[in-house]
Every structure is written in structure tokens, then in C-alpha cells.
Structure 1
Amino acid sequence: MAFAAINSSATKDIPVIEDAFAAEPSLKKRVYDAIGTTPQYIPLFEDIARYTSSLLARNASTPVQPVETTTDGPAAKKRKLQNGDGAGHAQPAGDLKANAPLQFYMQDVSFAVPQRKKLTLEITAGRGFLRARNQTSKAVEFGIHIDTIQHVLCLPVPEKNQKQFNFCIIPQYADGINSPPEGESAPEAMVWTVSDGSPKTAFSGDGQQIGINNGETAENVVRRVLNENLRQTKVVRPDEREFVSAMPEAHRKGEKAYHVKAFRGSKEGYLFFLPTGILFGFKKPLVFFAFENIDSISYTSVLQRTFNLNIMARPTLSDETQELEFSMIDQADYAGIDAYIKKHGLQDASLAEARRARRYNINGAKTEEEDAVNAEGAVEEESELQKAQRELEDQEEEDEEDYDPGSDADSDGSGSSSEEDSDEDNDEEERDLVVDELGSEAEDVPTDQL
């Protein structure tokens, strides 16, 4: 027994075993336990580890080709993503560091986007990658770097008998509004589901099960681990102070609902009105309207039972807008949606620039020097306006000076003389006209009749 214990402690750092089973801490622990019990099989386990490493390297370097099937019906819409390099690509598998040490992993996680299958959710150490691994082939299917994640949403899944949560991971350029720079491919969003129960398949990087002893749910564990690794954002959940549907969750009596059902074209989905924006999900493609990308919101086709919501969106680095319409929303939720829109000023296109400025901290605290420069600019602008006004007033004064009032200049200011002179001038003009018309006959016309 002493010999076995000595060898057990001496085999904890066999490099080939560490490399081969880095992504499977629980299996690696079992290998070391077996070596500690039967140290004579160390060479056998080393050979197995080398073979495993060669298989992983082969899977990482050889893309998995799409599976082609022939059917009599229409062509299948679903496709199998290449190994981390499908369209909408998360990241190539080689960049996802397939053998990197893990900080966290959860087995048997149901993914909906970009693939619909059960995979192992992994987060590599050092705030590296968030990725999904095939539980049979052990190959990384897809993933993204933690630092590219722009929005993370944790939302209750509607219309389920058992309470579940969808985690929506939206990387940069994957929100359906902002396009990547020319020549770059846009990553796809990731959506997976966890139950509200115990995290029975959640483990730390060293293979220790987590969340069981302290009573955490699977949703709490995943949310906590994500928040520990995210730099640019945090996990956002619905807030009843922002929006709550007027209709409670139909499948879970007495529970509040944070979504409304809507259609985008013929595609049915759910709108969530969140503290940071509006999501339409959960089918591909997801669309997330961050506040800074909303130009304005309006209502159309307002009927007795339903109405449509039109969102005018503007990409962050573009002046071109696009309008998306969501139809057949129940009238019962009109008041709540309208209050949410007015609270965030989303109905007013003139406030769009202010929302974008807040997002990028353009309207943050100014220094005294900046305040002085802005004040000076305001004074200069005001002076130019005053200068133009003065020039206009000077021009009017010059026009008045050119006018010759005649005998008005000698008047005493009473105005009576001017009126009498004016009447006399009019009488003389009338007599002159009569003389011109009648000639000598005008002499016989009494003056008072002219």
C-alpha cells in the first residue's frame, strides 16, 4: 500500500497525460487513480494518451465536411457546421485552443443556435474562449473569444411547463443590426438552455462538481461564471420595473411573463423589452436592438385586438437606417410597451444621437478646459448672430435717413400742419388734372365743385 501511495503522488505530472486529457478533468483524474493503484500500467496509459492527442490534433486540423443527403423532398435547410468554421463562424477551431486548460465546463447542454444539439459548454482559463465541444468526437464545434462578446442575456423560456432559461450570447457584429467591416465574416450568436434545477453536470476546471453544496441552480452557476469572465458587459435579465406582460405565463400559473409574442414576416418569435435594449428571438437570426442603435419606434395597424411595432434601427458606424416590423402583438400589452418606449425616449428620433453618445461616453463629465472652450464657442456664435442683427438694423436706419420728410422737419411735432399741407397738395393735384382734361372749359367750373 505504501508503494502504491508513493507512485500515486509521483504520477501527477505526466506531461503526455496532462495534454491528452486537459479538456476532460474527470477522466484525467480516473487515469491518475488507476495509475496510482496499478503503477505497472504507466507505459500503457502513456501510449493511450499519445494516441488520444493524435486524434485531437487530427480533428482540429481536418475540417468536418457537411453531410450531404439525397431526398425526394425539398433540400434540407439544416446544415452541419464545419469544425468551428461554418458560415456565421464563431472562430476557426485552431484559434479556439482545443487543448487549453479549462476554468469551467457543463455537460449535456442543449444548444439551439448556431446548432441544435447537446454539447459540452466550456470556458477556458484566463478569460479565453467560450466554446462548445462535441461529446462523442471531443472536437470543438464552435466558439468565440470572451472579449468579442458584446451582449449576454439570460431570459426565461416562454411556454414551457418546467422553468428554463435561455442564455443568448451576442458577439460584436452578430446583433442583426451592425455589419462587420468589409472582408470580415460575422460571427453567429449562441443560444443554449439550462434548467432551473440543480447543476448536476457543472464542473470546475479541475473536475470538481460545483453548485451542489451551496444550493445554486444551474442558471445561477452559469450566470456567475460568465460575469466572472466578461470584461465589456454583464449578464442582463428581465426587470419588472422595465416591462412585464399584462398576460401571465400561461404554462406556469401565477408566474410573470416578460415577453410578448410577435411575428417578423411569417416567422413567429418573442420580443423581450430589457434594460439595455429589445431582443427578438429565439430562432435564427436573432435580432437585438441596443438602445444606441434605435432611431425611433412607431405603431402601425392598430386594431381592436392587435397592433404592429415598427423599429427604425441605425448601425453604430453608419447613417443608413433599416426598418423592421413586428406584427400581431396583443393589444393587452400596448400600455406596457408604450410606457417602456416613452421611458427610454425611443419614440423620438431626435434623441437617437444622445443615446449613442451615452453608449460611448461622449456626454460624460467634461473638464474645466473643455467647458471654457465650449463657452467661448457659444459666445462667438452669439456674437455673430448679434453682428448680423446689428447690420440689419443699421441698414434700416440708413434707409430712414435717405427719406426727406419735407416741411415735417420744421414742424413743431404736433402733426396738424403736416395734415393740412397734405390736403392742400391733394386739392392742387386734382385741379391740375381737371385742367389738363377740360382745357379752357375748366375756367367756367366753380372751384368748390372740383
Structure 2
Amino acid sequence: MADQLDAQTLRLVFQSRPDILAGIQKAADTPARTALFNDIASFVHEQLSTAEPQNVPTAKRRRVDIAQLPPHTQPNGHTQVTVLPAGTLPAALSADAAAADPVLLEVKDISVTAPQRKKYDLCFTKSFLYARASGTSVPVQGIVYPWKDIEHAFYLPVPDKSQTQYNYVLLPRDSYLPTAKQASTNANDRQQPLEPLVFTVPATAPKPGSIGGPSAAAAEPVSDTYSSLFHWALVTSMRSAGNHACQLVASDPKLFHSVARQPHRPGEKAVHVKAFRGSKDGFLFFLPTGILWGFKKPLLFLPLDRIVAVSYTNVLRTTFNMVVELDTDVAPGDVSNAPAIEKEVEFGMLDQEDYQGIDETYVRRHGLADRSMAEQRKAKRQLAENHRKPAAAGDEAAAGEDDANGLTALERAQREAEQQLQDEEDELEEDYDPGSEGDSEGEGGSSDDEDEDDDGEAQDDEEEDDGEDDEVGSMED
């Protein structure tokens, strides 16, 4: 009806902006305005539903889940399911929400290398980090990152460059683990996760006039270099958005460094090793929180708490391969159609000179070759995940919540193990019999039992039995 708002379409188009929805409902106080808002919502919905991004093959189209996109029922009763390119609607809504969020800090002319290779202006808002082309005010779709969704952040030197440069690597949730190619027959039905963001900065100070926004004055004291500026901006923004779990991790030559000499920067220790992932060449970084392979797509990060074991294959005179076995269990609370994780990941053609450093300095130090340590890491990861995503009341299996005694699943397991060990020790003490169990109970000794012992032990047992008999007699008196 013309005098009623099309609530279904409005919710779909503005689901990320409840404030806009509330404003429309308040302003739709006449039939003319109501009809206008309905026309606007229908037009935007039609544009989003039929939009075809440039360079997106038809094969990447996917059928949107009915739960995410309400179907339109035709007059004949048939249901029309809208078909969209993968990620189009969520990306559009995310970009719309980011565009409406006031920019607090802007850093111009930053070299982004993933998910696209181009220079962009990076914009920091209260809820988002996004890229936009110079001279525009519209975020680039696919390069819009909610602060709350960033799970890992790294600061790494760029290899094989004569001038010192650094890469910032931001990994959103579900973007960094290797997924099996045959993960699911319904892979096209899943909303595609954000790709990792990688951008490069020089070791120099920002160019004059490249920093803008209301927070530019607050950023001035930390703008001696690009690195100090982005360290401050990233950490401050994530904390302000409530993301306290993600830490900005830097490579540490004290934790690991290659013995190979860098021809481009000979005075600097290399914190990476060259390696192949299939036919693609890249670099392995052995970091305090896990192993990163970059910077070719797809980037991989293998957290320590996901690694079950590390082994070596194809050991030749100058090279070897490294196989990392992963825990493939999904996190508690994950949806059932989450992409399957590869069980093993192999990196090839590592230099033999780096074997000792990798194996002794990193793998063994972190217990990555010990499966018992892997179980402990898994338990800690699950405990942390349960803490971040508590389950609904009553769902004990999914959340690992405390039991009636206030113990977590990990603490219960530790207590059960300690109790089992104590029970075994008690059983051993009870089973230990020097040959005079009957005497200790006041029933007298058996010469047959004593004959089974050797001569020396029998003599010692007799002396102990005499003392025990005296004690028993005193107690009976």
C-alpha cells in the first residue's frame, strides 16, 4: 500500500544502519514521503541485486541464502531468489556504512599490495579502516575492514629491497588458514570472507600534507616515521573499537633469523627464509605467534595453537621441505558450513643452512614437534575462544562454560588427570607388600611366603615383622 513503508526492503538495504531506518520511519509521516522512501529503497535494492562488478566472472556468482536475503514473492505465488556476485551485497553495505562513518585520520598515497596493488588513501574511522582512491570520498569495495573483525596484525620488513621498507599485514577472521579445495560442494553458497590487507611504508617520515582528519593533531607527536604513525593509529583504533585481543606483532631476530646473508641489506639480519608453496615462491616468517607465508596470494598464517606437529621431507644436499600438520577442528560456535582446513601444509625448497635455526631455535623451542604440547595449545586456544564468544545459557557443549564448582573444561581435565595420578600412586602403595601383610593385621606370619623371598630380604622382613607385632600387641592391650 502506498501509505505503508516496505519494511522488508528497507531492512535489507539499510540493515547495517539502524539509525537511518529509525529516521525514515520517523520522517514517513505523509503518504507522499512514504511512497518516496519506498521508491528509493526499491531502486537501491534493485541496483545492489543486479550490479555486476568489473572483472568478476559469471562463474563466481552465488545464490544468496534466504536467511540473509528475503525472497520476493510474485503474484502467482512463486518465489524469486535473487542471484548476486559473491560478496556483492555485504561489500556494498559495508562500504555504505564505512562511508557514513566520519573519517578521523587519513594518510594519503599508501602503497597497498593486497587485496589490490595500487596506491590509495587509508582512512581511519571509529569502526572501520578502508581505502579510497585519491580525490574521491567513496571507499573501495573489498578494502573495507571493521576493526572488530581483525584477528591478527603484523609488522614485517620487506625482503629483497635495497631500501628499507615495511609491510603491515592485517588478517581478518577466516582469511588466513589454508582451506581444502574440496572443502564443500556448497562453497559458492558461503559469504566470502575479507581478504588480508597488506600495505607498504618506507622507513622515512610521512610526506608534508599527507596526514589529515580531526585526529591529525593527535598524530603529530608520533609522526616521525610512517611506522610510528601507523603503530599508534592501528593500536589506538582497535582498542577504541573494543578489539583488545588483536596485538600488533613484529618480527624478532632474537626469536629467529636466517643465517643467509642479505645481499641487498648485508648489515641487517634476515627474519625470513625463502620457500615455495606449490609453484609460488614467497617468504616464511617465524613469528612469536605463528608462521606466516607471504606475500603472494593467498597469504597463509599458521598460529602456534593450530600447529600439531612439524616434520621434514625431501631432504637433499642443499634444500629440504617442511610439512606443518594443523588442527582442523573448527572453533566452538562456528557455523557448520565453515570452509574445511587443510590437514597438512608443505613448504618446499628451504635452504639447508636454515635447518638448524628453524628446527632448534623455533620448532623445538615452541614444542611444535611434541604432540602432547599440541594438545595443551589446543586446550588453551579453545579456552580463549570460549572466553571471546561465550555460548548461550544452557549450551554447555558449545561454550566450555564453568561447571557447578566453577571449573572450566581445561581445569576439570587437569583436576581429573591429577586425581587419576593420585589414584595410581595410592594403588601402588597398597599393592606394595614386603611379605608380611598378615602380620601387620595381627594374623601371624606365613613361613611359606617368607621362603619365596631371597635370604637377605627375608631377614629384613623378619625384623620389620617383629616391630610390627610389638606395635599391634600394644594396641590390643
TM-score by length of 2: 0.58
Give the Cα–Cα distance (whole angstroms) in 1 for the partners of residues 162 and 421 of structure 2: 64
Assess if the C-alpha contact under 8 Å between 2:276 and 2:347 holds in 1. yes
Give the Cα–Cα distance (whole angstroms) in 2 for the partners of residues 373 and 298 of structure 1: 29
Q: What SS does structure 2 have at the residue aligned with 1:187?
A: coil
- How far apart are 1:378 and its partner, in Å? 5.3
Residue 159 of structure 2 corresponds to 158
Ranges in structure 1 where 5+ consecutive residues have no aligned partner = 1-53, 70-74, 76-84, 394-410, 415-450
- Asked if 1:188 corresponds to 2:195, the answer is yes
Among residues 344, 351, 368, which one is paired with 2:366 in the alignment?
A: 344
Give the Cα–Cα distance (whole angstroms) in 2 for the partners of residues 215 and 288 of structure 1: 30
Assess if the C-alpha contact under 8 Å between 1:293 and 1:316 holds in 2. no
Residue 146 of structure 1 corresponds to 147
Q: What SS does structure 1 have at the residue aligned with 2:100?
A: coil
- How far apart are 1:214 and its partner, in Å? 5.8
- Asked if 1:258 corresponds to 2:271, the answer is yes
- How far apart are 1:93 and its partner, in Å? 3.3
Among residues 326, 330, 335, which one is paired with 1:313 in the alignment?
A: 326
Q: Deviations over 1:5-40 (max 9, x none)?
A: xxxxxxxxxxxxxxxxxxxxxxxxxxxxxxxxxxxx
- How far apart are 1:380 and its partner, in Å? 7.3
- Asked if 1:229 corresponds to 2:237, the answer is yes
**Shift in alpha-carbon separation, 1:202–1:236, aligned structure 2, 3 A:** farther
Ranges in structure 2 where 5+ consecutive residues have no aligned partner = 1-39, 58-83, 332-339, 388-401, 434-447, 452-477
- Asked if 1:323 corresponds to 2:323, the answer is no
- Asked if 1:100 corresponds to 2:101, the answer is yes
Among residues 268, 277, 282, which one is paired with 1:269 in the alignment?
A: 282
Give the Cα–Cα distance (whole angstroms) in 1 for the partners of residues 419 and 215 of structure 2: 67
- How far apart are 1:322 and its partner, in Å? 1.4
**Shift in alpha-carbon separation, 1:89–1:168, aligned structure 2, 3 A:** farther
Residue 353 of structure 1 corresponds to 375
Assess if the C-alpha contact under 8 Å between 1:89 and 1:187 holds in 2. no
Select the structure of larger CA radius of gyration: 1
Assess if the C-alpha contact under 8 Å between 2:178 and 2:341 holds in 1. no
- How far apart are 1:357 and its partner, in Å? 2.4
Assess if the C-alpha contact under 8 Å between 2:253 and 2:270 holds in 1. no
Give the Cα–Cα distance (whole angstroms) in 2 for the partners of residues 144 and 196 of structure 1: 25
Q: Deviations over 1:154-173 (max 9, x none)?
A: 11000111111111110110
Assess if the C-alpha contact under 8 Å between 1:211 and 1:218 holds in 2. no
TM-score by length of 1: 0.62
Q: Percent identity?
A: 34
Q: Deviations over 1:72-118 (max 9, x none)?
A: xxx9xxxxxxxxx9857895233242132112211111111111111
Assess if the C-alpha contact under 8 Å between 2:178 and 2:342 holds in 1. no
Give the Cα–Cα distance (whole angstroms) in 2 for the partners of residues 90 and 153 of structure 1: 29
- How far apart are 1:208 and its partner, in Å? 3.8
**Shift in alpha-carbon separation, 1:304–1:379, aligned structure 2, 3 A:** closer
Among residues 211, 218, 225, which one is paired with 1:203 in the alignment?
A: 211
- Asked if 1:131 corresponds to 2:152, the answer is no
Give the Cα–Cα distance (whole angstroms) in 2 for the partners of residues 170 and 157 of structure 1: 17
Q: What SS does structure 2 have at the residue aligned with 1:220?
A: helix
**Shift in alpha-carbon separation, 1:147–1:316, aligned structure 2, 3 A:** farther
- Asked if 1:241 corresponds to 2:242, the answer is no
Assess if the C-alpha contact under 8 Å between 1:152 and 1:169 holds in 2. yes
Assess if the C-alpha contact under 8 Å between 1:246 and 1:333 holds in 2. yes
Give the Cα–Cα distance (whole angstroms) in 1 for the partners of residues 373 and 120 of structure 2: 43
**Shift in alpha-carbon separation, 1:316–1:240, aligned structure 2, 3 A:** farther
**Shift in alpha-carbon separation, 1:237–1:116, aligned structure 2, 3 A:** same
- Between the two proteins, the alignment pairs up a number of residues equal to 329
Assess if the C-alpha contact under 8 Å between 1:91 and 1:143 holds in 2. no
- How far apart are 1:253 and its partner, in Å? 2.6
**Shift in alpha-carbon separation, 1:122–1:137, aligned structure 2, 3 A:** closer
Which moves more between the two structures, 329-338 or 245-254?
245-254
Assess if the C-alpha contact under 8 Å between 1:175 and 1:286 holds in 2. yes
- How far apart are 1:138 and its partner, in Å? 3.3
Give the Cα–Cα distance (whole angstroms) in 2 for the partners of residues 214 and 387 of structure 1: 65
Assess if the C-alpha contact under 8 Å between 2:105 and 2:216 holds in 1. no
**Shift in alpha-carbon separation, 1:378–1:299, aligned structure 2, 3 A:** closer
Equivalent position amino acid for 1:198 in 2: A
CA RMSD in angstroms, aligned pairs only? 4.5
- How far apart are 1:382 and its partner, in Å? 6.1
- How far apart are 1:215 and its partner, in Å? 5.9
**Shift in alpha-carbon separation, 1:109–1:321, aligned structure 2, 3 A:** closer
